[in-house]
């Protein structure tokens, strides 16, 4: 082991405390960056999605997402149990590509990826237990 200039070996407790201090310093520096990235990179904005939903989706899916628009028997977005069974990717794909034989149009040429994620984020807010 290297000796301290004074001729004494550094204490294991000092090494432990130095390592602990260094580790905590790294965590303190990195954590805010990770938190900021997580908070600023959501997969859609429900506030923006509501406007799109109201304009393009509510006539079929209902104002409350209950599937009671002019076409009944559509998915009930307000049923938390049913919505919990659907992944975001599954719902995004349905919005993007539509549903063959269901009357659900594909929105990929009409809405941007971000707008489709916004609609999905809004749909998730409609689910009630």
DSSP structure class, residue 56: H
pLDDT of 119 reads 97
**% of the chain residues with pLDDT over 90:** 46
Half-sphere exposure of 10 (CA within 13 A, CB side): 11
Q: 3-class DSSP state for residue 17?
A: helix
Residue 52 domain boundaries: 46-125
pLDDT of 51 reads 97
Answer yes or no: do 24 and 61 share one domain.
no
pLDDT of 37 reads 44
pLDDT of 103 reads 85
**Structural domain count of the chain:** 2
H helices then E strands: how many in the chain? 6, 0
Answer yes or no: do 121 and 80 share one domain.
yes
Answer yes or no: do 32 and 87 share one domain.
no
Mean pLDDT of 80-99: 93
Answer yes or no: do 32 and 90 share one domain.
no
Under 8 Å CB-to-CB from 67, ≥6 apart: which residues?
Answer: 61, 73, 74, 75, 76, 77
pLDDT of 32 reads 64
Flag whether pLDDT at 129 surpasses 90: no
Name 128's bridge partners. 79
Kindly indicate the confidence band of residue 74, based on its pLDDT and cuts at 50, 70 and 90.
confident
């Amino acid at each position: 082991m290297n000796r301290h200039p004074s001729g004494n070996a550094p204490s294991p407790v000092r090494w432990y405390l130095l390592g602990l201090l260094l580790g905590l310093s790294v965590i303190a520096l990195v954590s805010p960056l990770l938190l900021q990235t997580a908070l600023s990179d959501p997969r859609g904005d429900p506030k923006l999605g509501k406007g799109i939903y109201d304009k393009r989706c509510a006539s079929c899916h209902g104002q409350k997402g209950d599937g009671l628009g002019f076409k009944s028997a559509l998915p009930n977005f307000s049923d938390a149990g049913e919505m919990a069974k659907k992944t975001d990717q599954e719902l995004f794909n349905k919005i993007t590509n539509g549903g063959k034989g269901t009357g659900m149009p594909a929105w990929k040429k009409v809405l941007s990826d971000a707008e489709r994620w916004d609609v999905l984020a809004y749909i998730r807010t409609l689910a009630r237990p």
